[in-house]
Amino acid sequence: MKVKLEKGLSSVDIDIPDDKVFDILIGKDVPGTGHDQIKEIILNGIKTHAPKGIIHKKIAVIIPDNTRLWARGDIFVPQIVKSLLALGCSKDNIKIIIALGTHDDMDKDQFLKLAGTFCFQNIEILNSANKNTTRLVHIGETCKKTPLYITKEAVEADHIIIFGGILHHMAAGFGGGRKYILPGIAGYDSIQKNHSLAIRKDGSAHPMVRQAKLWGNPINEDLNDAADLFLKDKTCTYAAIAANGTGDIFHADVGPLHQTFMNGCKKLDQACCIKVPQKGDFALISAGGHRADGQLYQSTKAIFNAVNIVKKGGDILFVAGCSQGVGNEIFSSVLTSFKDNSEKLGKELVVNFNMPSYVAFRVMDILKRFNVTLVSDLSESRTRGLGFNFTQTIDNYIQNLKGKGYIIPFAENILPVLDLS
């Protein structure tokens, strides 16, 4: 069979005998939802869930950064703003805040891509505060003792509208919803304290911190508490979307934060959580092309999903464009310097936790247990220096594969699990 695995704006051609493939995992046959239909859902939802007296309220619209381009904020954020204006809200009372977490600030060109021309020309757009302490407000402490510092402009708002996608997440269980508050618009110290819940005191990874796991996951519990603390005296509407196994948006919903989030998680699992009868000897995967694979750091979500169905010691061909490079200097440095000593890194994380190092810690664990070959724009020396294998030719790689395995063309969107029933 012949399969294309997307790599940036191009693709890698795979030609593999049919009898070497158990299945191509693309999720349930859930058709995408047209942009016009999603815009209508947003328009009606913003109106339906508008709080009383909204025309007099300060409104903060929280949106994702450029690591979530698949959410098409350039199309849907203008619809949110136009819906507010149609209700009689003033442009001067609306601010758009980009939920950076610990990511780099977006520039004006990126504002345009994330929020569209209409918003760029008419509405104030801000990056969240992150390490800018002059724009952070301490609003309390969560039940897990996380000090909660939130971007000032969001704290000053009366009504919060969150726009963004729901997807499986290697630490929070699911991304989206409450995660747009912490880490989204939170300060650096708050984010690090929350994420540190992923490591136990002995330096090992917390077993409940994983994809699709909410209940019993300490990070998720902390996120929920942080959201409730932030929203205590505010109203909030969540405009949620989710993508199917081929990266097309298939679900859109608008409503109260927690209810809308949980409904979206259920829909995502139904579409993208795929049970397989047995583990494979290999997996051929793509992060999903240019909307998902600009940086290696973000692309690793695809590996975290795929390893669930590969035998220990098996092979993973990981296709990710990485046109923007590795994407995080700490992540890159840790992968390079600790690649043969993950135990030491785990103990250091107990004392001095940061998320890029934790992601590197998890990647290193995968690199120890599987043979992972990265196909990207990175050079051979850079690829090997990060701990990945490198191949000159895909055809030779495929010919040398042993056993039988799976192909996952959009591995960031698909969560395969072993069917134990």
Give the DSSP per-residue string, 322-377: -TT-S--HHHHHHHHHSTT-HHHHHHHHHHS--HHHHHHHHHHHHHHHSEEEEESS
- The CA dihedral of 190, 67, 300, 391, to the nearest 10 degrees, is -150
Give yes or no for residue 341 having a pLDDT over 90.
no
For 196-229, what is each residue's pLDDT tens digit?
A: 999 999 999 999 999 999 999 999 999 999 999 9
CB 99 within 8 A of CB 62: yes
Q: Which helix (H) or strand (E) holds 124?
A: strand 124-127
Q: Which residues contact 261 (CB under 8 A, 6 or more apart)?
A: 166, 174, 176, 177, 178, 238, 240
Has residue 266 been placed in a domain? no
Claim to verify: residue 42 and residue 19 sit in the same structural domain: no
Higher local confidence (pLDDT), 317 or 412: 317
Q: Which two structure tokens, joined as six digits, stand for 245?
A: 């196994």
Claim to verify: residue 166 and residue 278 sit in the same structural domain: no
Q: Please report the sign of the dihedral spanned by the C-alpha atoms of residue 65, residue 82, residue 263, residue 144.
A: positive
Q: How confident is the model at residue 66 (pLDDT cuts 50, 70, 90)?
A: confident
Claim to verify: residue 167 and residue 208 sit in the same structural domain: yes
pLDDT for res 105? 93
Claim to verify: residue 13 and residue 46 sit in the same structural domain: no
Claim to verify: residue 18 and residue 165 sit in the same structural domain: no
Has residue 290 been placed in a domain? yes
Claim to verify: residue 85 and residue 162 sit in the same structural domain: yes
pLDDT for res 338? 87
- CATH at 334: 3.90.226.30
Domain that holds residue 206: 35-243
Q: Which two structure tokens, joined as six digits, stand for 112?
A: 């345009």
Claim to verify: residue 78 and residue 153 sit in the same structural domain: yes
Q: How confident is the model at residue 14 (pLDDT cuts 50, 70, 90)?
A: very high
The reported pTM is 0.90
Has residue 305 been placed in a domain? yes
Q: How far from each other are the two terminal CA atoms of the chain, in whole angstroms?
A: 30
Claim to verify: residue 153 and residue 170 sit in the same structural domain: yes
Claim to verify: residue 7 and residue 43 sit in the same structural domain: no
Length of the chain: 421
Claim to verify: residue 167 and residue 239 sit in the same structural domain: yes
Cα 240–chain centre separation: 14
pLDDT for res 404? 98
| Least confident window among 87-96, 275-284, 341-350, 397-406 | 341-350
Claim to verify: residue 237 and residue 280 sit in the same structural domain: no
Has residue 77 been placed in a domain? yes
For 268-317, what is each residue's pLDDT tens digit?
A: 999 999 999 999 999 999 998 987 888 999 899 999 999 999 999 999 99
Has residue 89 been placed in a domain? yes
Claim to verify: residue 198 and residue 307 sit in the same structural domain: no
Has residue 355 been placed in a domain? yes
Give yes or no for residue 421 having a pLDDT over 80.
no
For 387-396, what is each residue's pLDDT tens digit?
A: 999 998 999 9
**Burial 248-257, CB ≥16 within 10 A → b, else e:** ebbbbbbbeb
| Overall number of domains in the chain | 2
Give yes or no for residue 49 having a pLDDT over 90.
yes
